[in-house]
Amino acid sequence: MVMKSFRGLIADDGTDIISLHTNDGSQGYRIKKFEIMPSKIGVAHQNAVVQIFSIDDGTAPNTTIDFSNQTLLAAARYVDRVNVEMSEATIFDNMTFNQDIAIKYKDADAATEINYYLELELVKLDLNENTVATLKDIRNIKSQWVNNIT
């Protein structure tokens, strides 16, 4: 199993694009690990949401997590408040994708940065799998386009 890892520091209201596309679309990816960690320890009232999407719809990051969104690949939440126990949760989909992904971060309480770490499993796609992954991306792009117009 070949793995590829990415890490970064993302500012509040920021979006990072991870370039994964290939010319023929024959290389697929699956998320194997996704973790977030605050950049500054002891920041009071941190309420962070980091989400990974298969399509960057161009909207600003927000704290709403919608698992019915077909483009949502992963979501991580980190809460650390005064007099409240720290909590953290990460959920990711086992979906195979072959295009660029967008990582979006929003903190509801503090305008701080957050670190992320992402491990992707590289998956060789045959022609049928490649076609399915590409068609899903096209469908999601079209769906996002229609939703932005209405």
Which domain CATH number covers 125?
A: 2.60.120
Task: Output the pLDDT for position 137.
Answer: 59
Task: Output the pLDDT for position 25.
Answer: 75
Q: How does pLDDT run along the chain (150 residues), one tens digit per residue?
A: 899 999 999 999 999 999 998 877 788 999 999 999 888 876 667 888 999 999 898 889 998 999 999 899 999 998 887 666 667 788 888 888 888 999 999 998 878 899 999 999 999 887 777 676 666 656 555 555 445 555
Range of the domain at 123: 3-149
Q: Are 29 and 96 in contact (CB under 8 A)?
A: yes
This prediction has a pTM of 0.81
CA distance 53 to 103: 6
Q: Pairing state of beta strands 101-107 and 46-53?
A: antiparallel
Task: Output the pLDDT for position 38.
Answer: 87
DSSP state, residue 61? P
List, for residues 64-100, the tens digit of each pLDDT value. Answer: 999 999 899 999 998 887 666 667 788 888 888 888 9
Measured CA distances, 88 to 91, 129, 145 (Å) = 10, 34, 33
Our count of domains for the chain comes to: 1
Residue 133 CB: number of other CB atoms within 10 A? 22
Task: Output the pLDDT for position 84.
Answer: 64
Task: Output the pLDDT for position 10.
Answer: 96
Q: Pairing state of beta strands 3-10 and 84-92?
A: unpaired
DSSP state, residue 96? -
Task: Output the pLDDT for position 149.
Answer: 52
CA distance 57 to 140: 10
Task: Output the pLDDT for position 145.
Answer: 46
